[in-house]
């Protein structure tokens, strides 16, 4: 039996259109979902802040 | 009454380039594609159809499955209308635009998608509409043990049938351009949950069939001329053309009513 993924929640924020477009294009380039790329970016940001 | 929806079954294929070629040969119009052959959408006289490479999805692999989606001109408005009507819906952003879902009466996921994509970044392209209208209507075949209840659930989405009493087939239409939902008796196919669908539930799986206004013999000849291998079945009360697609699935084409 496959392990269930941790529950996820929706996270609505307002961002500059160009930044949204850049993230969408990055996700296409990497063959990943938009959610996966934004999740990576947020996790990386927190990781860098916490390691200082 | 909600805004109009167009039937848009999406096949997740391990042979996407071959499936795209197959649907072109049987007479659908290619309307949108990725230049690496991993994604394409087609238009019939009524209804639309999509092919997605099963190894290139961002939401997990569901090789050979066909998921029911409904295309609309405005996903956000459509989801808002459905929510106001009491449907269980969700919406979020994807690279291609807004992705909506509505939960079926038994908790399966039906996609709600925009009928066009503005940003063609990454190799997507639109294709000019051919001059002649395709003679095929796209049919999404829904298997269920509760035919009438399933059919009635789709009524508020605009899909209705002249009669709901045939125990073998209920053909739901929303007009001349929107495709056909065919309700057929049987047990609901179980499926491996996709990663993304773990959040919401299993996809609403359908089969793909067609109806044509062309005489079946003419249609079968055209398929043969296109390099396909159709079988015409004329005995009994259910005349049809049958062929096998590159994924090994049987495809049935029936006369349009």
Task: ipTM value, please give it.
Answer: 0.88
Quickly state the pLDDT bin for B244 (edges 50, 70, 90): very high
pTM of the model: 0.91
B95 CA to chain A: closest CA distance, Å?
Answer: 5
pLDDT in the model for residue B257: 87
Q: Which of A2, A4, A33 sits opposite B59 (nearest CB)?
A: A33
| CA atoms of B192 and B198, how far apart (whole Å) | 10
Q: Taking each helix axis as running N to C, give the angle between helix A17-30 and helix A34-50, from 0 to 180 degrees, rounded to the nearest 10.
A: 100
Lowest mean pLDDT among A28-32, B57-61, B94-98, B165-169: B57-61
Contact of B190 with chain A, judged by CB distance below 8 Å, is answered with no
Q: Dihedrals φ, ψ of B50, to 5°?
A: -130, 155
Percent of chain B exceeding pLDDT 70 equals 91
pLDDT at B196 over 50: no
> What is the least distance, in Å, from the CA of A48 to any CA of chain B?
26
- Name the maximum alpha-carbon separation found in chain A: 42
In contact, B54 and B16? CB cutoff 8 Å: yes
């Amino acid at each position: 039996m496959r392990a269930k993924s941790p529950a996820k929640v929706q996270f609505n924020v307002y961002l500059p259109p160009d930044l949204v477009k850049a993230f969408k294009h990055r996700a296409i380039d990497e063959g990943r979902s938009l959610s996966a790329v934004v999740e990576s970016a947020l996790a990386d940001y927190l990781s860098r802040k916490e390691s200082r | 009454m909600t805004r109009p929806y167009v039937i848009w079954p999406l096949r997740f294929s391990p042979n996407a380039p071959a499936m795209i070629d197959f649907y072109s040969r049987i007479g659908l119009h290619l309307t949108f594609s990725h230049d690496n052959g991993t994604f394409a959408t087609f238009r019939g006289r009524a209804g639309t159809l999509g092919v997605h490479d099963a190894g290139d999805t961002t939401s997990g692999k569901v090789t050979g499955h066909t998921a029911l989606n409904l295309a609309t001109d405005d996903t956000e408005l459509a989801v808002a209308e459905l929510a106001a009507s009491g449907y269980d819906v969700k919406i979020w952003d994807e690279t291609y635009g807004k992705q909506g879902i509505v939960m079926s009466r038994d908790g399966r996921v039906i996609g709600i998608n925009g009928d066009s994509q503005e940003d063609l970044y990454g190799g997507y392209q639109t294709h000019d509409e051919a001059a002649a209208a395709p003679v095929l209507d796209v049919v999404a075949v829904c298997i269920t043990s509760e035919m009438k209840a399933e059919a009635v659930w789709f009524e508020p989405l605009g899909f209705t049938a002249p009669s709901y009493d045939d125990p073998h087939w209920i053909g739901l239409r929303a007009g001349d351009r929107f495709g056909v939902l065919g309700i057929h008796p049987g047990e609901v196919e179980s499926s491996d949950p996709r990663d993304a669908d773990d959040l919401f539930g299993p996809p609403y799986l359908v089969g793909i069939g067609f109806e044509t206004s062309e005489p079946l013999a003419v249609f079968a000849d055209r398929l043969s001329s296109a390099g396909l291998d159709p079988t015409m079945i004329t005995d009994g009360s259910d005349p049809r053309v049958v062929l096998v697609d590159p994924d090994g699935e049987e495809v049935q084409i029936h006369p349009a009513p």
